[in-house]
């Protein structure tokens, strides 16, 4: 056997199978785009923290199950985006997401994994409904609203292709996720979580905007219409700056009028200026992932500021 013993040959076969399985698992994981998960994770935790500030109690189990549900909806939306961008010819060899273009996974595999994550999300929702004091119909409205948004962003009518994708992202990865998590903890509706979701929603929209700016040529060739295509590259830079820096302005206003602790996210502003320069210089290849990195660190400090702040306006103890 070319100088190898039978046992060594068997071990080589086993190792090769393990490597292929490990590589396959990695392909599935990368197809979910885990680098973007901070966009849904941070709002869920914020909603839970606001619930804790309101009631003085935090149900850890509910928070964990809610997090899994929302992350699965997010992952499903990413897979739907991968599938339909491929079908519509939006993705190409130069696209950031080449899961299907490079045959890393087959379209059927993407569909199966997407369906599985939707099923897991729905199961988690049933668990949440059984444990939360909130009315099922209220939670169902928010959950299936988010689930529908994650699919319709590129699936079905494909809101992304008609310049409506930005609205979907602004609503879903901000107000909707925060309110959903808050209601699960508190059992009732309140409008103030929407107010606190604004900085996160804008910061998350910056990820999408940088992605659409980078891909605008491919999107335009495929017949898609995004906000970036409508306003052009120069105006897109202004929009990106608005999305990137408005959350910091909000934090400063809160820091001056409520508590200096709300200025904690300003520790990331140096990173934000570096991203602004990359956009201005046309270095867009890795900008969405780097903006997502900023989103994570900004969101983390934003959450910490809520934990350590002595008071939160608009909150009445239940």
Model pLDDT for residues 111-153, shown as the tens digit of each residue? 999 999 999 999 999 999 999 999 999 999 999 999 999 999 9
Inside any domain, residue 232: yes
User: Which CATH number does the domain housing residue 246 bear?
Assistant: 1.10.600
For residue 93, pLDDT over 80 is answered with: no
Q: How many domains does the chain have?
A: 1
Inside any domain, residue 228: yes
Helix axes 177-186, 38-55, angle to 10 degrees: 30
Distance CA 193, CA 190 (A): 7
Inside any domain, residue 260: yes
Inside any domain, residue 2: no
Distance CA 94, CA 309 (A): 45
- 135's tokens: 């009315």
The pTM of the full predicted model, rounded to 2 decimals, is: 0.88
Interacting residues of 101 by C-beta distance below 8 A, sequence separation 6+: 86, 91, 92, 93, 95
For residue 21, pLDDT over 90 is answered with: no
Q: What is the pLDDT of residue 14?
A: 43
| Tens digits of residue pLDDT in 255-286 | 999 889 999 999 999 999 999 999 999 999 89
For 243, the domain range is 22-308
What is the pLDDT confidence band of residue 254, given thresholds at 50, 70 and 90? very high
| Tens digits of residue pLDDT in 40-77 | 999 999 999 999 988 889 999 999 999 999 999 999 99
Inside any domain, residue 301: yes
Inside any domain, residue 265: yes
Distance CA 50, CA 130 (A): 21
Inside any domain, residue 316: no
Distance CA 271, CA 254 (A): 21
Q: Any idea which of 160-164, 276-280, 313-317 has the lowest mean pLDDT?
A: 313-317
Q: Give the residue among 63, 118, 47, 81 at the shortest CA–CA distance from 226.
A: 81
Inside any domain, residue 10: no
* Burial class of residue 56 in the structure, from the number of CB atoms within 10 Å of its CB (0-12 exposed, 13-18 middle, 19+ buried): exposed
């Amino acid at each position: 056997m070319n100088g190898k013993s039978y046992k060594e040959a068997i071990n080589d076969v086993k190792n090769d199978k393990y490597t292929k399985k490990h590589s396959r698992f990695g392909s599935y994981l990368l197809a979910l785009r885990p680098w973007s998960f901070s966009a849904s994770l941070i709002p869920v935790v914020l909603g839970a923290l606001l619930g804790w500030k309101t009631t003085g109690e935090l149900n850890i189990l509910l928070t964990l199950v809610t997090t899994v549900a929302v992350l699965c909806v997010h992952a499903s939306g990413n897979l739907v985006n991968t599938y339909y961008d491929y079908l519509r010819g939006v993705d190409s060899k130069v696209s950031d997401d080449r899961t299907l273009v490079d045959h890393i996974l087959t379209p059927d595999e993407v569909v199966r994994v997407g369906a599985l994550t939707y099923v897991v999300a729905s199961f988690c929702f049933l668990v949440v409904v059984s444990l939360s004091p909130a009315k099922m119909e209220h939670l169902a409205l928010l959950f299936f609203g988010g689930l529908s948004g994650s699919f319709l962003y590129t699936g079905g009518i494909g809101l992304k292709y008609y310049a409506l994708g930005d609205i979907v992202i602004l609503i879903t990865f901000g107000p909707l996720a925060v309110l959903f998590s808050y209601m699960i903890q508190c059992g009732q509706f309140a409008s103030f979580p929407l107010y606190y979701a604004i900085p996160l929603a804008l910061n998350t929209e910056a990820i999408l905007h940088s992605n659409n700016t980078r891909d605008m040529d491919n999107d335009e060739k495929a017949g898609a219409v995004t906000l970036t295509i409508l306003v052009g590259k120069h105006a897109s830079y202004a929009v990106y700056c608005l999305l990137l820096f408005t959350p910091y302005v909000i934090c400063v206003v809160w820091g001056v009028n409520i508590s200096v602790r709300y200025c904690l996210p300003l520790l990331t502003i140096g990173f934000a200026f570096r991203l602004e320069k990359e956009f201005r210089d046309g270095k867009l290849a890795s900008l969405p992932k780097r903006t997502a990195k900023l989103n994570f660190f900004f969101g983390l400090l934003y959450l910490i500021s809520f934990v350590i702040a002595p008071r939160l306006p608009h909150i009445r103890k239940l």
